[in-house]
Structure 1
Amino acid sequence: MKHFSTTLRLVLPALLLCSLPVHALELKGRLEWQHKVDMRVVENGVIDAVNVTTGQHVNKGDLLVRMDQRKQKAALLEAKARVARATLSMDDAERDMARTQELFDRGLIAEEELKDGELKKAVATTEMESAKATEEAAQVALGHTELKAPFAGIIAANNAWQGAVIFAGKQDQPLVSLAPDDQMLARVLVTADVLRRYAVGSTAQVQVNGDNRSGKVYSQGVEAVRIEPEGAIYELDILFKRNAKEVLRPSESVRVILP
């Protein structure tokens, strides 16, 4: 009986070891943004206000940077005044056309006078459409003086300073870089054989600061990052959710477990 007990203690760990997934891989990786948006202005001007700093969390629609808007606001006011004038002209043309049509129907005026009224109304309509288009263009130009967050995330870089003169065609650096941080990527380097084993959408585990997170394969590298004796090396990205109030940054080391 003692010999049997000793044998059982030796065999049990071996049986447990054999029960672990044979093909599971544990790899060292690094964190990356899921994506990042570099934001620039499309109009020349002077920066009037900067409302963010690097590392700040923002919500969708938050104002990040505002340029001097005086020129654009003046153009918009002028465009609105043009629309107002066009509206008056249109109303006048429609009244004249109504009277002209009535007189024509009663046989009191010739057809040429009716056509003159129709032409006047057509000109007023064209002027109204042109004025509205000018107003819309002025509104767009005013909108281009502001950078607003297209989604909630973190300010990854801020190169905007109040008073800086910006030339739209000579922006070597983006004014603001924004990245979503509710989800992040764990990037590992694998051979082609490993890459083929894990299709996009496959489950995976990411260990961040000792805490395991459920994730899934987000993308597979297409071009090799380098060539090793064992073969070409590719990037494999695992997408996972960040915990609330947790601060994660690109290039931090993580462990990725591929089942």
Structure 2
Amino acid sequence: MKHLKLILVFAVVAIGVASYFLFFQKTEQISYLTINATRGNISQEVNATGEVGAIKLVTIGAQVSGQIDTLNVKLGQHVKKGDLIAQINSTTQQNNYDIEKAKLTSYQAQLEAAKIQLTTSQSQYEREQKLYTQKATSKASLEEAESTFASAKSAVAELESQIIQTQIAVNTAEVNLGYTKIVSSLDGTVVSVPVEQGQTLNAATSTPTIVQIADLSNMEILMEISEGDITKVAEGMTVTYSVLSDPDTEFTTTLKSLDPALTTLTNGSYEQGSSTDAAIYYYGRLEVPNAQGKLHIGMTTQNVIKIAHAQNVLVIPATAVHKRDNSEYVNVLNENNQQVEKIITTGLSDSINIEISSGLSEGDKVILSNMSAQDISNSVGSSSKPRMM
């Protein structure tokens, strides 16, 4: 009986173990999220915000003080080089010019009289010299004639010096008189008129601005390129840009230049040793035509700098690429639905997709992620549970 009971116990245990492995230890199923490696185009780009400005913009100011008698332009008016912009009251400048001119005329008349006196005294001195050699005059008479001649020469030299000084004063007064007429220095459009007719200007301490004139036929876009991207870009690269008022229309140009220093230094506000928390940007400059006048000073532009471009290359999502040591690899689902690791070589990346130079073939099922049945169940279960408030 004891042997029969022992056999029955072993039979029950065996049945239990078999049942456990049969019902509870099934092979865990894994679900894979995959994407096929396909061919396509990929571009590496740098995005930057820019501001529109005029390539030629001049500030025309007043170099003399006075009241604005006439203001001949208005905002938005097109002017030609040499056109009269404004007339400053010229009474003071005209009086100064007339005074210096009168002085010059007086000195010139005095010089003519002095030259006649010089000629007379020279003749007298030469005559006294001859008479003295003939012992027909005294030495005192000779010395007196010599002194008179020397004084006449000095008077002529002094008047000639005064005439030179006065001529300079006349020229200065004439220039100051000319400064009362404010004229345009280029062909362009009046973009700023910060003064009004009748306003009094004081040019003693600074140069008051009368108008600003810009050539709007060709514009400049200053792009702010971040410190992290500045080494990727270079002059001559293709740039597409659009304005906020028409974001669907893109224009294409080339990068004209890159400023050698950060924007704060270019703008004249850089302080060495300032906080490193501030973002660092560098200006990239574009020159673009504006024949239709759609671009206005101060507009914001969205710019895309084309760094590199590859066509008809093998492309997969960048998130599927893994790194280990000094190599890159992806996990691929083979024809037996088994996960296989493949070493790859990558090329261009646009942060979303990446070029595969070698290691994969078109159509390969690249694994993006995997999840077991239990993980799926837990995920669904946790998402359906009410949240504790």
TM category (shorter chain) comes to 0.7 to 0.9
Q: 2:116 aligns with which of 95, 111, 123?
A: 95
Equivalent runs, 1:176-191 vs 2, <5 Å: 176-191=211-226
The higher radius of gyration belongs to 2
Structure 1 residue 65, shift from structure 2 partner: 1.7
Residues 186-213 of structure 1 deviation map (CA, whole Å, 9 limit, x = unaligned): 12222213223445x5454354654434
Residues 14-62 of structure 1 deviation map (CA, whole Å, 9 limit, x = unaligned): 2xx15xxx44435442212346444432333211111211122323332
Residue 85 of structure 2 aligns with which residue? Answer: 64
Equivalent runs, 1:144-183 vs 2, <5 Å: 144-168=179-203, 174-183=209-218
Equivalent runs, 1:1-259 vs 2, <5 Å: 14=40, 17-18=41-42, 22-34=43-55, 36-106=57-127, 107=129, 110-168=145-203, 174-198=209-233, 201-205=235-239, 207=241, 210-217=250-257, 219-223=259-263, 232-244=279-291, 246-259=293-306
Structure 1 residue 245, shift from structure 2 partner: 5.2
Unaligned stretches of 5+ residues in structure 2: 1-36, 131-141, 243-248, 265-269, 307-389
**In 2, Cα distance between equivalents of 1:218 and 1:54:** 33
Structure number with the higher strand fraction is 2
Structure 1 residue 122, shift from structure 2 partner: 1.3
- Aligned amino acid, residue 216 of structure 1: K
Maintained 8 Å contact 1:204/1:256: no
Over 3 Å counting, the alpha-carbon distance change for 1:228 and 1:153 in structure 2 is farther
Over 3 Å counting, the alpha-carbon distance change for 1:154 and 1:77 in structure 2 is same
What SS does the corresponding residue of 1:181 show, helix, strand or coil? strand
Unaligned stretches of 5+ residues in structure 1: 1-9
- Aligned amino acid, residue 93 of structure 1: A
Structure 1 residue 256, shift from structure 2 partner: 3.1
Over 3 Å counting, the alpha-carbon distance change for 1:118 and 1:169 in structure 2 is closer
Over 3 Å counting, the alpha-carbon distance change for 1:102 and 1:168 in structure 2 is same
**In 1, Cα distance between equivalents of 2:294 and 2:177:** 35
**In 1, Cα distance between equivalents of 2:120 and 2:175:** 39
- Aligned amino acid, residue 191 of structure 1: S
What SS does the corresponding residue of 1:151 show, helix, strand or coil? coil
Query: What count of residue pairs does the alignment treat as equivalent?
Result: 241
Structure 1 residue 116, shift from structure 2 partner: 0.8
**In 1, Cα distance between equivalents of 2:283 and 2:53:** 12
Maintained 8 Å contact 1:27/1:256: yes
Residues 212-248 of structure 1 deviation map (CA, whole Å, 9 limit, x = unaligned): 34450253552569x999x834142323142435353
Structure 1 residue 171, shift from structure 2 partner: 7.7
Structure 1 residue 173, shift from structure 2 partner: 7.0
- Aligned amino acid, residue 298 of structure 2: S
Maintained 8 Å contact 1:54/1:155: yes
Tell me the TM-score normalised to structure 2 length: 0.53
Maintained 8 Å contact 1:45/1:166: yes
